[in-house]
Amino acid sequence: MDKTVSSSQTKLIRGDHLDGTIYSRGWQRTAQAADIIEPATGSVLGRIGMASAGDVAKASATAARAQRDWASASYDARAAVIRKAASLLETHFADVVDWLIRESGSARGKAEFETQLCIKALNEAAALASQPQGLVLPSETGRMNLARRRPLGVVGIISPFNFPLYLAMRAVAPALAVGNAVVLKPDPRTAVCGGLVFAALFEKAGLPEGLLHVLPGAGDAGAALVADPNIAMIQFTGSTKAGRVVGENASRHLKKVSLELGGKNTLVILKDADLELAVKNAAWGAWLHQGQICMSSGRILVEAPIFEAFTAALAEKAKTLPVGNPATDNVALGPIINKAQLDHIDRVVKTSVEQGARLLAGGTYDKLFYAPSVLAGVQPGMAAFEEEIFGPVACVTSFNGDDEAVELANRTEYGLSAAVISPDIGRAMAVGDRLRAGLLHINDQTVNDEVINPFGGVGASGNGTSIGGPSNIDEFTQWQWLTIRNAPPAYPF
């Protein structure tokens, strides 16, 4: 039975359509199912099928067969499907935003921004289909010597809960655009906006059957995807702990792998910074989406002369931000995704206070709503300095001079995003150039993405690959060397 919504209806995905099915070559029954929980209320929004290892094997084999015709299709045909998906997402914008709010706990502004990013990602991917696909290389007379980009085959994508729509779309759209098929395993906690939205969008956009499979599942499904012989590449976004396992297993099976992992990102605020602007940047970087962003400003380094004034102003800012159900209230912060994550946040805060940090604001919670918090005097060795919190906790450390700022910023295994705020651009750049990070922002905070930029970290934040913008053709294709002669040469034996 077709579970998608007819074009006459306003909803792309309806709650009463969620009955424990998965999307793989159409809708199929699966033996296991899980509830989709609204974190703000604890209500059950529906039930979603949980794919098994067997489901992954069937999907990847189907995708491999379908991919050959898709790769042979004209770039116009591929681009048309992706442009249509972008148009459909615009049409169903409000519906998708509502799912992001209810399923992932996103504040409305964040949900709207994420959906806009995905529309942009689709349109950029559609343009990717017609970009130059290779090079003419120098060669001897009588031979044409080419290097051309070829699709990989089937790309396996494992996406997270925090920006579930965009962090899947930034891989799904370009992978399809350059001729690959996709098996997408979204986080089961956000299986609708991170998965079923894709199924409905691309089916209604006319994507040929078998090219996109959406398989929410647990660790066994992810392991099966990484090991499956029909999967040529894994694009994984998630925690560093899980990413290490994915990277190790993908390498064992000789697969290309792209890892976008966690971060303990540093925002450096120099003593000549405008205090009000610095506080606004720090608040946004630390508390946007409850701090559940890989780029969140996990450590805020403030030069000593303005440290006390800055922390006092940031604490006052924390006390003014409304926290609540983003589906019903106009709030700055919504709920944490689940209790396990909230317990982790609370443990880090309490441990850090025991270790000597000063709690200037927050540190409290009600159900899954954790108050925006400020820890001052955070030092190396404290839990708040070392661990990725993935929660709304601003960890503030004082420093004296550029060398100490750089030493503190680089005192981590992570290397995703970094930022420096100062009206002295020369000094800010000099500091920034010494920071070990894949993303660097001068006079901004650490949370930034514009679709057209390469995105990736170093160290424990990734394996040095980038996704997005100019990186996508390289990421989702591989080079093939091609030579052409008029006739075979007469070799000496």
Query: Three-state SS for 324?
Result: coil
Candidate list 103, 114, 124, 260, residue with the active-site label: 260
d(CA 295, CA 89): 26
294 is catalytic: yes
Catalytic one of 118, 124, 193, 294: 294
Q: Which amino acid is at 221?
A: A
Q: Are strands 32-37 and 44-50 parallel, antiparallel or unpaired?
A: antiparallel
The full length of the chain comes to: 493
Q: In 10 A of CB 46, how many CB atoms?
A: 20
Q: How many CB atoms lie within 10 A of CB 386?
A: 18
**Segments in 230-386 forming alpha helices (H):** 240-252, 275-287, 307-320, 339-354, 383-386
Nearest to 24 by CA among 60, 53, 48, 70: 60
Half-sphere exposure of 391 (CA within 13 A, CB side): 31
Closest CA to 311 of 363, 266, 262, 376: 376
Rounded CA gap, 196 and 124, in Å? Answer: 22
How far is Cα 111 from Cα 89, in angstroms, rounded to an integer? 13
Q: Letter for the amino acid at 386?
A: E
Which of 186, 188, 187, 79 minimizes the C-alpha distance to 123?
79
Question: First-to-last CA distance in the chain?
Answer: 64
Among 66, 19, 80, 95, CA closest to 213: 66
Best CA proximity match to 264, nearest among 311, 236, 300, 304? 300
Q: Residue 142 — left, alpha, or beta (φ > 0 → left; ψ -120 to 50 → alpha)?
A: left
Give the containing element (helix H, strand E) for 58: helix 53-72
User: Helix or strand or coil: residue 147?
Assistant: strand
Single out the residue of 445, 448, 453 nearest to residue 472, CA to CA: 453
Q: Is 193 a catalytic residue?
A: no
* Active site residues per annotation: 260, 294
